[in-house]
Amino acid sequence: MRKEFEELRSYVAPNANQITAFKANPTKNRYQDVPCIDETRLVLTLNVPPETDYIHANTIKMDGVDKQYIAAQGPLEETISDFWRMIHQESINTIIMLCKTCEDSKQKCAQYWPEVGGENKTYGSMFVMNKKTEHEDRFETYVLEVLPEGCSNSTLVKLIQMTDWPSRGVPQSGFTVLRLLRMIPLGAATVVHCSAGVGRTGTIIAIDTILARLWKSQRIKVPEIVKEMRKQRAMMVQSEAQYVFIYCTVLDYIQAKQPNKYREYVHTFHEEVRNAEMI
């Protein structure tokens, strides 16, 4: 696994340098060293003009997966309106947030929604109301109503925030991620974001892709899956720990399905990973 990830470090997608919109909108990019590929970038059309069509987000379609993703950076204060325009435009019904707004005393994402049930806020031309808030172990869930100015048709969206995934690190258990993946519906596109929208975001999309292909008995090569993602969004899966966590979580899933057959193998694998200090 360590060798695989080292080889991936040098992989550059053929379209990686096609980032014209990214370069033209520096104030809308959270990190200037995390580009947004032109070919797959999500183009905003709602309220354009006078507003712009750019948001740091890419559509992700993985072979063998009956889900569509939009991988995005965590909104900046000045891009919250753009984010909600995207949600309404694409009829998104689920947002997966894999970071906290502040981590290690650094802002990782703007507070882009009203936190308290019954509260509403207006972001630019977008009205957002918190209809319901639920607190669960390792998850915060919000049901939000989104309505553009001058529009009578609102969008209901569920925001699921996973609260125990550290930046560039991994959760303590893959089972938390497996719980989260069960919450993502088939069909409509799901927005997934962390801070940069490539590390934690890429990790969870890779895991979901592998599980979908397992169900269809398709051939699986993790390095090829990472490359497939990086052709659509640059820098997906940032750290060795995240890469190893993909394997760990998939094996946790296999063990849960067939515990008697794979328990000893999975236990040994986890021990070897810990001893090698890969996670």
pLDDT tens sequence across 220-230: 999 999 999 99
Number of folded domains that form the chain: 1
**What are residue 146's DSSP bridge partners?**
128, 155
Residue 273 lies in a domain: no
Asked whether residue 261 is assigned to any structural domain, the reply reads no
Q: Return the higher-pLDDT residue of 91 and 218.
A: 91
Q: pLDDT for 168-186, tens place per residue?
A: 779 988 999 999 999 988 8
Query: What pLDDT, on the 0 to 100 scale, is given for residue 79?
Result: 98
Q: Is residue 258 part of a domain?
A: no
* 191: enclosing H helix or E strand: strand 190-193
Active site residue: 36, 109, 194, 248, which one? 194
Residue 244 included in any domain:
no
Answer whether residue 270 is part of any domain. Answer: no
Q: Is residue 3 part of a domain?
A: no
Check which CATH number belongs to the domain holding 174 and give it: 3.90.190.10
Q: Is residue 252 in some structural domain?
A: no
DSSP code per residue over 117-158: TT-EEEETTEEEEEEEEEEETTEEEEEEEEEETT-S--EEEE
Closest alpha carbon to 96 in 118, 117, 71, 79: 71
194 is catalytic: yes
In the predicted model, is pLDDT for residue 63 greater than 80?
yes
Check if the beta carbon of residue 240 is closer than 8 Å to that of residue 203: no
Span 78-129, pLDDT tens digits: 999 999 999 999 999 999 999 999 998 999 999 999 999 999 999 999 999 9
Residue 275 pLDDT > 80, yes or no? Answer: no
Q: Give the range of the structural domain holding residue 52, as residue numbers without chain letter.
A: 13-238
pTM of the model: 0.94
Percent of the chain with pLDDT over 70: 100
pLDDT in tens, 154-168: 999 999 999 999 877
Structural domain contains residue 259: no
